[in-house]
Structure 1
Amino acid sequence: MPGQQNFYATPTLVGQPGPPGGPGQPAAGYPYGQQGPYPTVPPPPPSGGGGAGRAVLWVAVGAVVASAAWAAGVFLAGGKGADADLRGYTAPANLCSSTDYSSFETEYPDDDGTPTHNSLKDAALEESYCSINLKKTGSSYADAYLSTQVDLHKETDPGPEFTAMWKNYRERYPGYDVETVEDIGEEAYLVSEDTTSGTTSGSLYATLAVRDGWTTYTMSYSTYLSSYDEDKDPPSLEQVTDWLKADSKTTLDQIKD
Structure 2
Amino acid sequence: MSTPPQPSPQPSPQPDQPGQPPAVPPQPTAYPYPSPQSPGPQNFYAQPTVIGQPGQPQPGNPYAQPPQYGPLPVPPAGGGGGGGAGKAVLWAVVGAVVASAAWAAGVLVLGGRSGSADLRGYQAPANLCSSGDYSSFKDEYPQSDSSPGHNALKDKALDESYCSLGLKKTGSSYADAYLNLEVDLHKKTDPAPEFTATWKNYGDSHTGYDVESVKGIGDEAYLVSQDTTNGSTSGSRNATLAVRDGWMTYTMSYSAYLSSYDEDKNPPKLTDVDDWLKSDTKTTLGQLKN
Smaller-chain TM-score bracket: 0.7 to 0.9
The answer as to 2:272 corresponding to 1:239 is yes
Q: How far apart in 2 are the matches of 1:180 and 1:57?
A: 55
Q: Which amino acid is the alignment partner of residue 176 of structure 1?
A: Y
In the TM superposition, what whole-angstrom CA distance separates every residue of 1:35-89 from its partner, at most 9, and x where no partner exists?
xxxxxxxxxxxxx924544554455444444443443344333455351110000
Aligned-pair Cα RMSD in Å: 1.9
Partner of 1:49: 79
Matched ranges for 1:203-218 at <5 A: 203-218=236-251
Partner of 2:163: 130
Unaligned runs of 5+ in 2: 1-77
Contact 1:120 1:128 in 2 (8 A): yes
Partner of 1:75: 107
Partner of 2:146: 113
Matched ranges for 1:1-257 at <5 A: 49-50=79-80, 51-79=83-111, 81=113, 83-257=116-290
Q: How far apart in 2 are the matches of 1:64 and 1:161?
A: 33
1:219 to 1:74, Cα distance in 2 relative to 1, 3 A: farther
Percent of residue pairs identical:
66
> Over alpha carbons, which structure has the higher Rg?
2
Q: Which amino acid is the alignment partner of residue 115 of structure 1?
A: P
1:165 to 1:67, Cα distance in 2 relative to 1, 3 A: farther
Q: Which amino acid is the alignment partner of residue 68 of structure 1?
A: S
In the TM superposition, what whole-angstrom CA distance separates every residue of 1:148-207 from its partner, at most 9, and x where no partner exists?
000111111111111111111122213212111111111111111111221111101111
Deviation at 1:233, TM superposition (A): 1.5
Higher RCO structure, 1 or 2 (CA under 8 Å, sep 6+) = 1
Q: The residue matched to 1:109 in structure 2 has which SS?
A: coil
Unaligned runs of 5+ in 1: 1-47
Using the size of structure 1 for normalisation, the TM-score is 0.76
Using the size of structure 2 for normalisation, the TM-score is 0.68
